[in-house]
């Protein structure tokens, strides 16, 4: 009985709150400026929490499931991750004439040095039966007069928690190209004043497109690790369309010999 009563009271409280905001919306054009500023602050705070609820609800109710972080990983992985751009809808889903530094999400930023940008970016919905990621990223490049084009992905703090030189960092991208293109993945690990960099070319012409970074080949100071990020570097991208259907990371310990 307690649960039923709680549900009823929740619905009644929600209806009262909804009616209150409906009245405020109707009165907003005539409110005094002080009251209007206070109402706007409250509305913005409420909207932030509502956006969190909507994101969580979308994550459970859509197919492919929005918010999904599940994918196949090596046995024994101690950390796995799919960036939010490939998990949930962005507030702004497209950018035309992308600037030299285009922030797509808190984790993903595009960099280039074109004098005149003819790059467009758009988050797309993955609908193929084989897609595990709910969303993908499409990049259209027309004329390109710059010397570099890269996509930087900031890895979360969990990626470097307890990081050791025995670790393997695994990157698994699903990429579609309009025409052949070289893409390099550069893993950057900041430790103290130094930054380790490991570079691998994506094996786009192979069925298994997995890239692994073996930290045993680095000079990593395990006691001073601060952060880690990945750069995807596109070589000669002009007149091409690149679709990143998925981008996933995992971490595992190399077996002792």
pLDDT by 10s per residue, the chain, length 257: 344 445 777 888 888 888 888 898 898 888 888 888 888 898 888 888 888 888 777 665 555 555 556 667 778 889 999 999 999 898 888 899 999 999 999 999 999 999 999 999 999 988 877 788 889 999 999 999 999 999 999 999 999 999 999 999 999 999 999 999 999 999 999 999 999 999 999 998 876 789 999 999 999 999 999 999 999 999 999 999 999 999 999 999 987 65
Residues 214 and 101 in one domain: yes
Residues 249 and 217 in one domain: yes
Residue 150 domain-assigned (yes or no): yes
Count up the domains in the chain and report the number. Answer: 2
Q: Which of 10, 27, 61 is the last residue of a domain?
A: 61
The residue range of the domain holding 51 is 2-61
Cβ proximity of 91 and 48 under 8 Å: no
Residues 223 and 170 in one domain: yes
Residues 127 and 51 in one domain: no
Residues 93 and 54 in one domain: no
Cβ proximity of 102 and 81 under 8 Å: no
Residue 96 domain-assigned (yes or no): yes
Residues 128 and 45 in one domain: no
Cα 141 to Cα 147: distance, rounded to the nearest angstrom: 14
Residues 46 and 86 in one domain: no
Other C-beta atoms within 10 Å of 77: how many?
Answer: 14
Residues 53 and 174 in one domain: no
**Is 0.85 surpassed by the pTM of this model?**
no
CATH of the domain at 98: 2.60.120.260
Residues 87 and 214 in one domain: yes
Residues 48 and 167 in one domain: no
What the block records as the tokens of 105 is 């999400």
Residues 26 and 104 in one domain: no
Residues 55 and 86 in one domain: no
Cα dist from 195 to 103, 156, 166, 219, whole Å: 23, 17, 18, 9
Cα 238 to Cα 130: distance, rounded to the nearest angstrom: 29
């Amino acid at each position: 009985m307690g649960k039923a009563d709680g549900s009823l009271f929740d619905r009644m409280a929600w209806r009262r709150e909804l009616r209150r905001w409906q009245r405020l919306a109707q009165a907003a054009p005539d409110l005094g400026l002080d009251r209007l500023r206070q109402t706007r602050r409250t509305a913005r705070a409420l909207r932030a929490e509502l956006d969190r609820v909507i994101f969580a609800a979308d994550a459970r109710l859509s197919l492919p499931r929005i918010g999904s972080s599940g994918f196949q990983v090596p046995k024994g992985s101690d950390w796995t991750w799919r960036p939010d751009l490939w998990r949930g809808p962005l507030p702004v889903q497209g950018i035309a004439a992308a600037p030299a530094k285009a922030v797509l999400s808190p984790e993903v930023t595009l960099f280039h040095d074109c004098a005149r940008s003819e790059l467009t970016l758009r988050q797309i919905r993955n609908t193929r039966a084989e897609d595990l990621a709910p969303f993908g990223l499409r990049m259209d490049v027309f004329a390109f007069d710059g010397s570099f084009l890269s996509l930087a992905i900031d890895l979360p703090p969990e990626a470097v928690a307890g990081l050791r030189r025995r670790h393997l960092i695994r990157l698994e991208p699903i990429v579609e190209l309009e025409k052949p293109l070289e893409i390099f993945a550069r893993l950057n690990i900041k430790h103290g004043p130094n930054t380790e960099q490991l570079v691998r070319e994506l094996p786009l012409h192979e069925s298994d497109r997995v890239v692994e970074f073996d930290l045993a080949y680095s000079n990593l100071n395990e006691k001073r690790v601060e952060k880690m990020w990945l750069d995807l570097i596109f070589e000669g991208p002009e007149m091409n369309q690149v679709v990143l259907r998925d981008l996933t990371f995992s971490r595992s310990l190399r077996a002792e010999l």
